[in-house]
Structure formats: structure tokens, C-alpha cells
Structure 1
């Protein structure tokens, strides 16, 4: 039976964790573990988490004595993970009850599959669903896919064996940690799109990926894309030279603007259709 590791990197999300926890214990799939690392929170996160998980052996909590940042904490989560499948769950978000079961089914009899992802539903601060995030679509995975401008996000699930073939999560990244992970995993095999929401994404003012951090995240994402281009040995894209050294996010995103045109999207759809026949 496939074992599933749910990985949670927490920082100051004590007020939201109860709903995250409830969504885990309500899963229809039962063979799972949860690794939680608290990154030196200054709120009551550790007390809240400890009071909820209590003596439940499926949950393991670690905490840093000093703040290490998102990349370091998520990389540490992977060191403790023992599951065949792994996925990150933000402590202020939650999973649909069938999320793990649907993901496990998606990997059945698919040796070439490295990852799978689903739609997610955007929620207000009280985790009340509002609408399905429109940016997540089925993608054509090749060396020129960089999760930009067409994107997928949660619920991204990957084989631990695929992760171990990569250089792993960059512990020095503060932003775009997930983007870096996605692109590394996509180099290890095929990816499956599950066209239904399995993830509740909470929108609130303290979210790391929201307005205050958007510019910093954009810069980090551009650096991740540039590193990916270098790692994949890509010298030019659409007749434009990939710079040897990173200078600006604008320069990197300009290389990928052609992917927004209708012809490029049509060709990708045709390739997807042919690949599914």
C-alpha cells in the first residue's frame, strides 16, 4: 500500500492550523504521515499544534530554535519524509477529504509518472470557498515549460524517489521555493493533471505569497527560471539568447512571452491531445 507524506512548514500560523489538522484526520485514505517543522514561530503555533496532534503517532513535530526561512524548512521536511508520495500543505490551508485518495489513484500503474497536481479553490480568511483558481491548467511538460505564464500550483504531489534524483529544494531560497521544486521534479518524468479541486487555499493578509511579497517573489521566481534554463542546458529560447548571468527578472520573463500567443497555446493543446491518444 502506498504511503503518503504530508509536509508542513509552519511559521506563525497557529490561528489557522486547526482547520488544516481537521482536514488531515478526515482523509478517506488512511496510510499517511505528517511531518511538521515550525520555523521558530513567535506566536503560539507550537502550543496549538502540540495540543491538536497530542499522542497521534501519524504526526511528528520538529521546531527550529531560530528562524531559517522557507527553503531551509521545506528542505528539512523532505529529509524526514518516508512516504512513497510526498506533498506540501501550507498550515493555513486545507485538503478536500478525498485529496490523498485521488492522488494515490492517479499514480496507480503509472511508472513513468513523477508528479500529479490538481485544481485548487480560493477561499476567504475563514476558509469559505469562493472560486476555483483559473490559472491552473493541463500543461505540456517539456524542457521549455517553466510554469510561466501558464501555471499550476497546489495540490502538487510527487514521488520521493523522483525528488531524490534531483539536487533537492534550495535551502537558501526565501521565495519561489515551490516553483523551484516543481521544475526540478518535472525533469524526472511525466506529470498528471487531476481536473478537480483537492486543495483549499486561504487568502489572507499574512500570506507569504500575497501582495507584500509579490515583487520579491517575482524576482526569486525569475532567478529560479534562469537556474532551470542553465541546468537544462538551454542556450536560447525562441531565437533569443539565454543570458549567462542573471541580471533582471524582466530579461528572463521577456524570453518566455512568446508562450502567451495563441499559436503556441494551440500547438501545446495539439501535443497534449496526441499524447493522450
Structure 2
């Protein structure tokens, strides 16, 4: 049995997979398997991926009969993993060469820990590094563990034996399924932050939680939070109000200001010199 199972959920991202593959075969830790589960891609992703990995026995490729969504697919991936230590890698992303080695070492030195995670490197569409996102050590079930600011981020690797003590990944979740299982692990066992930049995260138009999908990701994050509140029998209504009601009021004020600025009376007053503040709007 391999020391580490790299889990890859693919949907129409085969054209990015070459760099993901190259980052895996460049790992300083060589005792690993990669389990790929294609979620009913509608392009030629599977053909591309199979051609890239060829006959490398470390890569196991599976396919859903139809598109099931990210929650279902990642939950199934964990069940397919042969190793005790598992970590998710998206097919459009990549790992730095020592990622598996340092994650395995950290898990080995922290037997009680259920989840090990690191910083991620934001990259452009060509996987050129742009900025580093720093994660944070979670020590208690406070607002940090809700993960509003990515306090837990990739490269996140779990102990399967501890994950199985939770309800597991929720197959209902279409996005933000990671927020859900991060919280579940935190509720079950300690977690460990590695202050290392291990994960290359590609930003592109079809990203599941970036660019045009950002608002959808936020919505599903709140679905995960509501499920967490139900598990723990806590009220998060005030948290929702703090995060959204003031923002809505602010947006309402901006909309009103824009209407004033665009009114013909304000523009006429500005021309006549009667509305001196107009230029600052």
C-alpha cells in the first residue's frame, strides 16, 4: 500500500492536466498513488489524461456514469483511496516538488492530527505564481474555523481513519465541499498548519470557485455553515447579519448615490456651479 493517495476530481479540465501530472512525477516522495475520478466530462478530458499517464501503474482512473457534482465525486474518491493519508489536488493545479514529503512527515510526527494543511500560491491561467495566500493555525471552534478568509487551505491532507469518524463529505454540496469537510475534521480531531507554500492554485474563467463562480461559492459556503450550525446546535443568525445586512445597506446607499449623480438636475446644478461636491461622487 502506498504512503499517500493523491485524489483528483476532474470535470472538463484535462487540457490543464499536463502540469498537474508533471508536478506529481517530480515529487521527492515517490511512494504514492494517484486516483482520478472523472465526473462525466463532456470534452475529451479522459482521452487526454489517459494519454499523459500512459501505463504508469501509480495512476488509477475511474469515471462516474454521469455528472454527479463535486461533493459526490470527492466523497467517492476517498472511498477509492488505498492509503491512510489522502490529499486532494485539482487537475488544473499543481504541487511543489516537496509537498508530499513534508505533508507525510507532518502527519507522522502528529499522530493525533486529522488534517494537515499549508499555504497556497495563486497563479495566473498559465500557472505563473502571482501571490501567496497564508493559512492559519486553527486551535478552537471559533470563527476562524468557519474559513471565511481561507484559514484552512490547500494543500489539505487527511487521515482516512479520522475522516471516517465524521459524516464525510456531503454529496449534496455543489461547491465549497472542502469548507464542509474541513469543519467536520476540526470538530473531530486537532488540525496542523504547515507554514509552507505547497500548492499552485490556477485562476481561470472556468474555475469552480473563482471569477464568475465566486458568488456561487459563497452561497454554498453558507449552506455548509448552516449544516455545521445544525450539527453543533448553535445559532449563526447574528453572524449572517454581521456579514450581509451591513453590506446590503452599503450597496443600497451606493445605488441611491448613483441615481442622484445620474439625475439631470444634479448634472445641471454642476454645470451652473451650484453642486460643487458633484466631481467627488
- With the shorter chain as reference, the TM-score category is 0.7 to 0.9
Corresponding residue number in structure 2 for 1:151: 151
TM-score (norm 1): 0.82
- Counterparts of 2:88 and 2:98, CA distance in 1: 16
Question: Displacement of 1:218 after TM fit?
Answer: 1.2
- Work out whether residues 36 and 60 of structure 1, in 8 Å CA contact, stay in contact via their aligned partners in 2: yes
Q: How many residues align?
A: 245
- Counterparts of 2:113 and 2:66, CA distance in 1: 37
**RMSD after superposition:** 2.2
SS in 1 for 2:9: strand
Corresponding residue number in structure 2 for 1:142: 141
Question: Displacement of 1:142 after TM fit?
Answer: 2.5
When Rg is computed on C-alpha atoms for both structures, the one with the higher figure is 2
- Work out whether residues 16 and 91 of structure 1, in 8 Å CA contact, stay in contact via their aligned partners in 2: yes
- Counterparts of 2:117 and 2:71, CA distance in 1: 21
- Counterparts of 2:219 and 2:242, CA distance in 1: 10
- Counterparts of 2:115 and 2:215, CA distance in 1: 28
- Work out whether residues 124 and 202 of structure 2, in 8 Å CA contact, stay in contact via their aligned partners in 1: yes
- Counterparts of 1:250 and 1:77, CA distance in 2: 32
In the alignment, structure 1 residue 128 sits paired with structure 2 residue 128: yes
Which string of whole-angstrom CA distances, capped at 9 and with x for unpartnered residues, describes residues 148-170 of structure 1?
A: 24622111111000111111111
SS in 2 for 1:16: helix
- Work out whether residues 9 and 37 of structure 1, in 8 Å CA contact, stay in contact via their aligned partners in 2: yes
How is 1:233-248 mapped onto 2 (pairs within 5 angstroms)?
233-234=233-234, 236=235, 242=236
Relative to its length, the structure with more helix (as a share) is 2
- Counterparts of 1:208 and 1:50, CA distance in 2: 23
Which string of whole-angstrom CA distances, capped at 9 and with x for unpartnered residues, describes residues 178-224 of structure 1?
A: 11111111122111111110000111111111122222211111111
Corresponding residue number in structure 2 for 1:43: 43
- Counterparts of 2:60 and 2:133, CA distance in 1: 31
Which string of whole-angstrom CA distances, capped at 9 and with x for unpartnered residues, describes residues 197-252 of structure 1?
A: 00001111111111222222111111111111221232x4xxxxx45xxxx99448
How is 1:1-277 mapped onto 2 (pairs within 5 angstroms)?
3-134=3-134, 136-142=135-141, 145-149=145-149, 151-234=151-234, 236=235, 242=236, 250-251=240-241, 253=243
- CA 1:28–1:249 in structure 2 vs 1: closer, same or farther (change >3 Å)? same
